[in-house]
Chain A
Amino acid sequence: AAGVIQSPRHLIKEKRETATLKCYPIPRHDTVYWYQQGPGQDPQFLISFYEKMQSDKGSIPDRFSAQQFSDYHSELNMSSLELGDSALYFCASSLEGTGSYEQYFGPGTRLTVT
Protein backbone atom coordinates (compact mmCIF):
# COMPACT_ATOMS: atom_id res chain seq x y z
CA ALA A 1 0.00 0.00 0.00
CA ALA A 2 1.16 3.52 -0.75
CA GLY A 3 2.58 5.45 2.18
CA VAL A 4 3.34 9.08 2.91
CA ILE A 5 6.39 10.23 0.99
CA GLN A 6 8.70 12.95 2.21
CA SER A 7 11.65 14.55 0.50
CA PRO A 8 14.44 15.06 1.00
CA ARG A 9 15.16 12.51 3.69
CA HIS A 10 18.19 14.43 4.93
CA LEU A 11 19.02 18.10 4.61
CA ILE A 12 21.98 20.08 5.87
CA LYS A 13 21.73 23.86 5.91
CA GLU A 14 23.65 26.71 7.46
CA LYS A 15 22.24 29.29 9.84
CA ARG A 16 20.14 31.96 8.16
CA GLU A 17 19.57 29.82 5.07
CA THR A 18 16.17 28.64 3.85
CA ALA A 19 14.85 25.12 3.45
CA THR A 20 11.84 23.57 1.73
CA LEU A 21 10.48 20.21 2.82
CA LYS A 22 8.01 18.31 0.67
CA CYS A 23 5.27 15.88 1.57
CA TYR A 24 3.17 13.64 -0.66
CA PRO A 25 0.20 12.25 1.30
CA ILE A 26 -1.36 8.86 0.80
CA PRO A 27 -3.54 9.03 -2.37
CA ARG A 28 -7.09 10.26 -1.66
CA HIS A 29 -6.20 11.47 1.83
CA ASP A 30 -7.65 14.92 2.38
CA THR A 31 -5.71 16.11 5.45
CA VAL A 32 -2.01 16.78 5.95
CA TYR A 33 -0.27 17.49 9.26
CA TRP A 34 3.28 18.69 9.89
CA TYR A 35 5.10 17.80 13.11
CA GLN A 36 8.56 18.62 14.46
CA GLN A 37 10.48 16.17 16.63
CA GLY A 38 13.58 17.48 18.38
CA PRO A 39 16.30 15.09 19.57
CA GLY A 40 14.92 12.82 22.29
CA GLN A 41 11.58 14.64 22.21
CA ASP A 42 8.02 13.81 21.28
CA PRO A 43 6.58 15.15 18.02
CA GLN A 44 5.07 18.62 18.26
CA PHE A 45 2.30 19.76 15.93
CA LEU A 46 3.15 22.62 13.58
CA ILE A 47 0.34 23.10 11.07
CA SER A 48 -2.37 21.21 9.20
CA PHE A 49 -4.34 21.44 5.98
CA TYR A 50 -7.74 20.03 5.10
CA GLU A 51 -8.71 19.96 1.44
CA LYS A 52 -5.91 22.39 0.61
CA MET A 53 -6.99 24.97 3.18
CA GLN A 54 -5.03 25.64 6.35
CA SER A 55 -7.08 24.15 9.16
CA ASP A 56 -5.04 24.62 12.31
CA LYS A 57 -1.76 26.00 13.60
CA GLY A 58 0.33 24.80 16.47
CA SER A 59 3.73 25.90 17.66
CA ILE A 60 4.97 26.96 14.25
CA PRO A 61 7.45 29.86 14.23
CA ASP A 62 6.62 32.89 12.11
CA ARG A 63 9.74 32.07 10.07
CA PHE A 64 8.01 28.94 8.82
CA SER A 65 5.16 28.77 6.35
CA ALA A 66 3.40 25.95 4.60
CA GLN A 67 0.90 25.33 1.88
CA GLN A 68 -0.95 22.50 0.21
CA PHE A 69 -1.18 22.41 -3.55
CA SER A 70 -3.89 21.34 -5.97
CA ASP A 71 -2.38 17.84 -6.20
CA TYR A 72 -2.56 17.62 -2.37
CA HIS A 73 1.17 17.61 -1.83
CA SER A 74 2.37 20.01 0.83
CA GLU A 75 5.53 22.03 1.37
CA LEU A 76 6.97 23.42 4.57
CA ASN A 77 9.12 26.48 3.96
CA MET A 78 11.60 27.44 6.62
CA SER A 79 13.55 30.71 6.49
CA SER A 80 16.29 32.31 8.60
CA LEU A 81 17.20 28.88 9.92
CA GLU A 82 18.48 28.64 13.48
CA LEU A 83 20.51 25.92 15.16
CA GLY A 84 17.43 25.04 17.20
CA ASP A 85 15.53 24.14 14.04
CA SER A 86 17.62 20.97 13.74
CA ALA A 87 15.06 18.22 14.11
CA LEU A 88 13.14 15.47 12.40
CA TYR A 89 10.16 16.88 10.49
CA PHE A 90 7.25 14.56 9.90
CA CYS A 91 4.33 14.84 7.60
CA ALA A 92 1.23 12.78 8.33
CA SER A 93 -1.92 12.30 6.32
CA SER A 94 -5.43 11.09 7.05
CA LEU A 95 -8.83 10.81 5.43
CA GLU A 96 -10.89 12.98 7.76
CA GLY A 97 -13.82 13.59 5.44
CA THR A 98 -15.09 10.02 5.84
CA GLY A 99 -14.62 9.98 9.61
CA SER A 100 -11.45 7.91 9.49
CA TYR A 101 -9.04 9.30 12.05
CA GLU A 102 -5.98 7.18 11.39
CA GLN A 103 -2.96 9.42 10.92
CA TYR A 104 -0.16 7.84 8.92
CA PHE A 105 3.28 9.32 9.18
CA GLY A 106 5.97 9.62 6.57
CA PRO A 107 9.60 8.60 7.22
CA GLY A 108 10.53 12.18 8.09
CA THR A 109 13.09 14.71 6.89
CA ARG A 110 16.11 15.10 9.13
CA LEU A 111 17.17 18.74 9.04
CA THR A 112 20.57 19.67 10.41
CA VAL A 113 21.40 23.35 10.76
CA THR A 114 25.10 24.13 11.19
Chain B
Amino acid sequence: GEDVEQSLFLSVREGDSSVINCTYTDSSSTYLYWYKQEPGAGLQLLTYIFSNMDMKQDQRLTVLLNKKDKHLSLRIADTQTGDSAIYFCAERRWDYGGSQGNLIFGKGTKLSVKP
Protein backbone atom coordinates (compact mmCIF):
# COMPACT_ATOMS: atom_id res chain seq x y z
CA GLY B 1 0.00 0.00 0.00
CA GLU B 2 0.93 3.61 -0.24
CA ASP B 3 -0.37 4.97 3.05
CA VAL B 4 1.39 7.68 4.97
CA GLU B 5 -0.20 8.21 8.36
CA GLN B 6 0.04 11.03 10.87
CA SER B 7 -1.81 12.09 13.98
CA LEU B 8 -4.11 14.99 13.15
CA PHE B 9 -3.53 17.42 16.02
CA LEU B 10 -0.78 18.48 18.41
CA SER B 11 -0.90 21.27 20.96
CA VAL B 12 2.18 22.54 22.80
CA ARG B 13 3.22 25.55 24.85
CA GLU B 14 5.62 28.14 23.51
CA GLY B 15 9.19 27.19 24.34
CA ASP B 16 8.46 23.47 24.61
CA SER B 17 9.58 20.88 22.05
CA SER B 18 7.08 19.53 19.54
CA VAL B 19 7.29 16.02 18.16
CA ILE B 20 5.22 15.17 15.10
CA ASN B 21 5.05 11.51 14.13
CA CYS B 22 4.50 9.75 10.83
CA THR B 23 4.49 6.17 9.56
CA TYR B 24 5.08 5.11 5.98
CA THR B 25 4.67 1.83 4.18
CA ASP B 26 7.00 1.62 1.18
CA SER B 27 9.49 -1.14 1.83
CA SER B 28 12.07 0.09 -0.72
CA SER B 29 14.64 2.81 -0.28
CA THR B 30 12.99 6.15 -0.51
CA TYR B 31 13.12 9.79 0.47
CA LEU B 32 10.90 11.14 3.22
CA TYR B 33 9.97 14.80 3.53
CA TRP B 34 8.48 17.26 5.97
CA TYR B 35 6.50 20.22 4.65
CA LYS B 36 4.91 23.11 6.52
CA GLN B 37 1.69 24.74 5.35
CA GLU B 38 0.30 27.91 6.89
CA PRO B 39 -3.37 28.81 6.32
CA GLY B 40 -4.08 29.58 2.68
CA ALA B 41 -0.41 29.27 1.77
CA GLY B 42 1.79 26.92 -0.19
CA LEU B 43 3.88 24.01 1.03
CA GLN B 44 7.26 24.95 2.43
CA LEU B 45 9.92 22.25 2.31
CA LEU B 46 11.43 22.00 5.79
CA THR B 47 13.75 19.04 5.46
CA TYR B 48 14.06 15.59 3.97
CA ILE B 49 15.92 12.39 4.73
CA PHE B 50 16.93 9.32 2.78
CA SER B 51 15.65 6.10 4.27
CA ASN B 52 19.13 4.70 4.96
CA MET B 53 19.79 7.51 7.45
CA ASP B 54 18.85 7.49 11.14
CA MET B 55 18.83 11.18 11.88
CA LYS B 56 19.14 14.59 10.32
CA GLN B 57 19.42 17.87 12.18
CA ASP B 58 18.91 21.35 10.80
CA GLN B 59 18.89 24.19 13.35
CA ARG B 60 15.73 23.71 15.46
CA LEU B 61 14.55 20.72 13.44
CA THR B 62 15.55 17.12 14.08
CA VAL B 63 14.30 14.24 11.97
CA LEU B 64 14.52 10.74 13.40
CA LEU B 65 13.93 7.65 11.29
CA ASN B 66 13.23 4.16 12.59
CA LYS B 67 13.56 2.02 9.48
CA LYS B 68 12.44 -1.19 11.13
CA ASP B 69 9.13 0.32 12.24
CA LYS B 70 8.91 2.68 9.23
CA HIS B 71 8.43 5.52 11.69
CA LEU B 72 9.50 9.09 11.04
CA SER B 73 9.39 11.96 13.49
CA LEU B 74 9.99 15.69 13.30
CA ARG B 75 11.12 17.41 16.47
CA ILE B 76 10.90 21.19 16.67
CA ALA B 77 12.95 22.59 19.53
CA ASP B 78 11.90 25.77 21.37
CA THR B 79 8.56 25.90 19.55
CA GLN B 80 7.33 29.40 18.75
CA THR B 81 3.86 30.74 17.93
CA GLY B 82 5.09 31.23 14.35
CA ASP B 83 5.48 27.46 14.12
CA SER B 84 1.69 27.04 14.27
CA ALA B 85 0.77 25.41 10.97
CA ILE B 86 -0.08 22.07 9.39
CA TYR B 87 2.89 19.77 8.98
CA PHE B 88 2.80 17.17 6.23
CA CYS B 89 4.92 14.08 6.10
CA ALA B 90 5.47 12.83 2.53
CA GLU B 91 7.07 9.79 0.96
CA ARG B 92 8.58 9.78 -2.48
CA ARG B 93 7.10 7.11 -4.71
CA TRP B 94 10.08 5.31 -6.18
CA ASP B 95 9.59 3.86 -9.60
CA TYR B 96 12.56 2.08 -11.12
CA GLY B 97 10.69 1.88 -14.40
CA GLY B 98 11.95 5.30 -15.35
CA SER B 99 9.17 7.64 -14.29
CA GLN B 100 9.92 10.28 -11.73
CA GLY B 101 8.82 10.15 -8.13
CA ASN B 102 5.72 12.01 -7.07
CA LEU B 103 5.09 12.49 -3.36
CA ILE B 104 2.49 10.68 -1.29
CA PHE B 105 1.34 12.83 1.59
CA GLY B 106 -0.06 12.09 5.01
CA LYS B 107 -3.22 13.89 6.13
CA GLY B 108 -1.18 16.50 7.97
CA THR B 109 -0.74 17.32 11.67
CA LYS B 110 -2.13 20.63 12.84
CA LEU B 111 0.30 22.11 15.35
CA SER B 112 -1.10 24.71 17.73
CA VAL B 113 1.36 26.64 19.86
CA LYS B 114 -0.08 28.34 22.93
CA PRO B 115 1.72 31.39 24.33
Contacts and interface: CB of A to CB of B under 8 A. Distances in A.
A41 B104 CA distance: 12
Interface of A: 31, 33, 35, 41-45, 48, 50, 55-56, 58, 90, 92, 94, 96, 101-108, 110
A108 B42 contact: yes
B31 A101 contact: yes
Interface size class on chain B is 20 to 34
Interface of B: 31, 33, 35, 40-45, 48, 88, 92-93, 95, 98-108
A45 B31 CA distance: 16
A104 B93 CA distance: 16
Given A55-B100, A56-B95, A56-B100, A103 B106 contact: no
B104 A103 contact: no
Contacts of A56: 95, 99-100, 102
Contacts of B102: 33, 35, 45, 48, 56, 58
B101 A101 contact: yes
A92 B37 CA distance: 14
A101 B90 CA distance: 12
12 contacts: A33-B100, A42-B107, A42-B108, A44-B105, A55-B100, A56-B99, A92-B103, A101-B101, A103-B45, A104-B45, A105-B43, A105-B45
